[in-house]
Structure formats: structure tokens, C-alpha cells
Amino acid sequence: MTRSEQLFEEAAQYIPGGVNNPLRSFAGMGQPLRFIRRADESRVYDVDGHVYIDFVCSGGAALLGHNPPLVKKAVLEAVQNGLNYEACAEAELKLAKLIVQLVPSVQMVRMVSSVTEAVLSAVCAARSATGRKRLIRFAGCRHGGFDTAEGDPSGVSLLCGGGQDVLEAQYNDLSSVERLLEENKGQVAAVIIEPLAAHMGVIEPEPEFLQGLRRLCGQSGTILIFDETVTGFRLALGGAQEYYGVKPDMTIFGEILGAGLPAGALGGSRAIMEQLAPVGPVYQADACNGNPVAMAAGFAQLSSVLNQPLLYEKLAREGEALRAGLRELFPECTVGGVGSISSLLFTPGPVKHDRDAKRGDQGQFARYFSHMLQNGIFMMPSQFEPVFLSGAHTERDVEMFLEASAEFLA
Ligand SMILES: Cc1ncc(COP(=O)(O)O)c(C=O)c1O
């Protein structure tokens, strides 16, 4: 028995399914779960001494790879000064100012500890700002880790009261949004979307889809929320809103703000953000909001990114090489993505929304995942999750991913 297998057997006694996030579970993958001992640059190392090229990148948060020197230094310095205060610290302000500088639609931010919290708070703020209750979300988009009782893997239904207040539209189908807004005239507070859908495979918005949403929201007085957990600072410095040229009213940011440490934020115009207490009526509070160590890590990562003007070009070049290689190898599958965010769905295209994505062959993916893992490639145990690249990955890492994929076919 490997050390990973021993740990998993024990973990399953103390932690449901042995995992603290079901997305990490290897159930059905034909491989024992790997326990990670450490991560550095583009590599993760398991407790049995195996090394893998890491295409998980802390769920995308490790934009520069694991342990970039400036982030490590900033964290070690911050730790010397205490782990959390439940009082204000300059580090929060430094990061808030940087976000406002980089993301044009954002005038103010509130730092929280997870995206789940950020989404919940953003929806409350939107409801307060509009005096409306209903919410439109998109099938297959993720916005937090909550119960899926209503068939909503985004969790937003439970967070937001569910029932008739949470309405479901189809990604890349503007008419589905138009219809819901018409049927619920004057009642929809917000439309929430991942501008680049990244959890049903990676699906790009079709031309004019985001622009159309912007127009419909503007016409109906509905707040448009972009969940940029995956895309924020990764697709471009100003996120998907900069990349696609569409400004939302509110933006959700994720763990990239803490360079992987627990962090998240909601941002938007002053008028909407001042719905939050202590200025406005929406109570939003958590003892770890704006944690000084996470803020220092996030500020250091973003500052390093600002000093690497060629980073996004490099990520796009390597991402394109990865996707081109996969398209050649798997002509029967759908390779999606943009920049450093890619996916391989085991179904022929086109894939425009979750109904298309769900055709992805699970058995085939499990065999692929198992082969890749055994050949030193670490990725999420789901074809619907992105394959991420970081600043620490090299062209050779991409070639090794493609070589392992080619061997799978052989
Ligand atoms: C777009 C999006 N929204 C929400 C979440 C949930 O984030 P958290 O686990 O921080 O609550 C994720 C995480 O994968 C995400 O990618």
C-alpha cells in the first residue's frame, strides 16, 4: 500500500469521502487519491515521492506557479506580524487600490474569504440596490459550493433562496435571458454569469453574447454580475471584462486574490457597494475578511504580474500550443479555452452550453485521467474542470502533456 492509499483509508474515517472538497475526489477515476506533500513552480510532489507537472494550479489561483519568490517573501514577512487581527490593516487597502486600478468597472471592493461568500453578498447587495428579489443564473456556471438539491451545481439557488426566485438561463442563448426578463418584468435584481464558462469544459461566449447581456441588463435595470473567479487577473490584468470588452456592474474575484490563500472579493460601483454595512443595510461580516497574510500574498502576486509585461503573451502562446496539440490528437473531442485556461471534453463539438457539455464520455475521461496521472500529469479528476497553465510552466511542460496524451492514444 502506498502512503497516499494509507492516508486516504484513514482520511475516509474522519473526513466525508476523505476529501474537503468533492471536486478533489478520485471516485470513479480508477486511481487512488494522491496526497500532496509540497508544490513548487509548475510541479507538485506527492507523499510517495512522485513528481507531477501540475495543471490544477490551485484552481487557477497560482497564476505564477507555486511559491513564486516574491509571494513567498511577502507571506513570510506577514506571518512575522501575526496571522489575523479582526482589525484593519494597510495590506487590505493596498490590494483594494490595486484591484480598482486594474479593473475599470470596479470602484470599491469588499474582501471576503471565499467565492461562495462573495456571491452571496453580491446578490444581497444587488437585491438591496434594486429593491427586487429574483436572480437569473446560467445552467452549468458555478458560483459557490453549496447543496445541489435543486439540480444547480452552482449552489446559487440554495444561497439565494431558490424556488421561484432563482431562474435558469442557457449560456450562449440570449433569447433565454430575454424571455426570463420579460416573464419577470421589474422583479429581477441581477443576472450572474461566468463570462468565460469554465466548469462545463471551457466554453467561450459567442460574439455579441456578453454585449447582448449588457444591453438587456441596462434596459431592464438589472445588475449584471460577472463571476471572474477563474478569469480575474488571469485572462488579462482586467479579467474577462477587459478581454471581451464588456463592463459588468459587479465582479466576483476568487482565491487568486490571495495567491491561493483563502480569499475572495466582490466589487462594483460605489452606489452598489455602499449597500454593504456599515454604510448600507446589507450586513456582511467575517472575522477573516481581508486576512493580512492573504492580502500580502495577493498583493505580491499581482505586483509581480505587473512587472512581467510579457506574461499574458506567454500564457496565450503556451495555451494555444496545448489546445492545437490536443485538437490534432483528439479530433473526435472538443478542445475549448482561451489563454491559459483550457479543457478537453470527450464529446464531439460544437459545445455551446451545459447540455452539449454533459455528453462528455465519463468512462473515456477516467481512462485518460488515470493514464495521465501515471505519466506524471496532475489535473482535476473531471473533464469539466479547466486545465490551467501558469507563469512557471514551460513549453517543455506543454510538450510533456501532449506526449503523455499521445501515449494514451497509442
Ligand atoms: C467561477 C467560480 N465561482 C465560484 C467558485 C467557488 O469558489 P469557493 O470555493 O471559493 O467558494 C469557483 C471555484 O471553483 C469558481 O470557479
- Write the CATH number for 319: 3.90.1150.10
**Which pLDDT score is estimated for 35?**
98
**Residue 299, C-alpha cell as written in the block:** 498583493
Is the Cβ–Cβ distance between 318 and 400 less than 8 Å?
no
Looking at the fold, whether 220 and 133 belong to one and the same domain comes out as yes
**Residue 305, C-alpha cell as written in the block:** 504580474
**Which pLDDT score is estimated for 270?**
98
Looking at the fold, whether 123 and 167 belong to one and the same domain comes out as yes
Residue 79 lies in a domain: yes
**Which pLDDT score is estimated for 52?**
98
Query: Which residue segment(s) compose the domain that 39 sits in?
Result: 3-55+309-409
Residue 62 lies in a domain: no
Total domains present in the chain: 2
Residue 18 lies in a domain: yes
Looking at the fold, whether 256 and 354 belong to one and the same domain comes out as no
How many angstroms is it from 216 CA to the middle of ligand 1? 26
How many angstroms is it from 284 CA to the middle of ligand 1? 19
* Cα–Cα separations (whole angstroms), residue 347 to 12, 55, 343: 33, 21, 12
Looking at the fold, whether 233 and 101 belong to one and the same domain comes out as yes
**Residue 190, C-alpha cell as written in the block:** 441581477
Which tens digit of pLDDT belongs to each residue from 197-212? Answer: 999 999 999 999 999 9
Given 274, 305, 336, the domain boundary residue is: 305
Looking at the fold, whether 223 and 243 belong to one and the same domain comes out as yes
Q: Atom 4 of ligand 1 has which residue's CA nearest to it?
A: 143
Looking at the fold, whether 204 and 85 belong to one and the same domain comes out as yes
Is the Cβ–Cβ distance between 212 and 220 less than 8 Å?
no
Ligand 1 binding residues, C-beta < 6 A: 59, 114-116, 142-145, 194, 227, 229-230, 254, 264
Indicate whether 329 pLDDT > 80: yes
Indicate whether 143 pLDDT > 80: yes
Residue 259 lies in a domain: yes
Residue 215 lies in a domain: yes
State which of 115, 152, 256 you would mutate to test the pocket of ligand 1, scoring each by most atoms of that ligand within 8 A of its C-beta.
Answer: 115
CATH of the domain at 299: 3.40.640.10
Looking at the fold, whether 230 and 129 belong to one and the same domain comes out as yes
Looking at the fold, whether 10 and 83 belong to one and the same domain comes out as no
Which tens digit of pLDDT belongs to each residue from 68-117? Answer: 999 999 999 999 999 999 999 999 999 999 999 999 999 999 999 999 99
Looking at the fold, whether 154 and 265 belong to one and the same domain comes out as yes
Looking at the fold, whether 177 and 77 belong to one and the same domain comes out as yes
Given 305, 334, 358, the domain boundary residue is: 305
Please give the Cα distance from 12 to 30 (Å, whole number).
17
State which of 142, 158, 341 you would mutate to test the pocket of ligand 1, scoring each by most atoms of that ligand within 8 A of its C-beta.
Answer: 142
How many angstroms is it from 27 CA to the middle of ligand 1? 21
Lowest average pLDDT, out of 19-23, 73-77, 400-404, goes to 19-23
SS3 390: coil
Given 305, 322, 347, the domain boundary residue is: 305
Share of the chain above pLDDT 90, in %: 92
Looking at the fold, whether 118 and 264 belong to one and the same domain comes out as yes
Looking at the fold, whether 294 and 326 belong to one and the same domain comes out as no
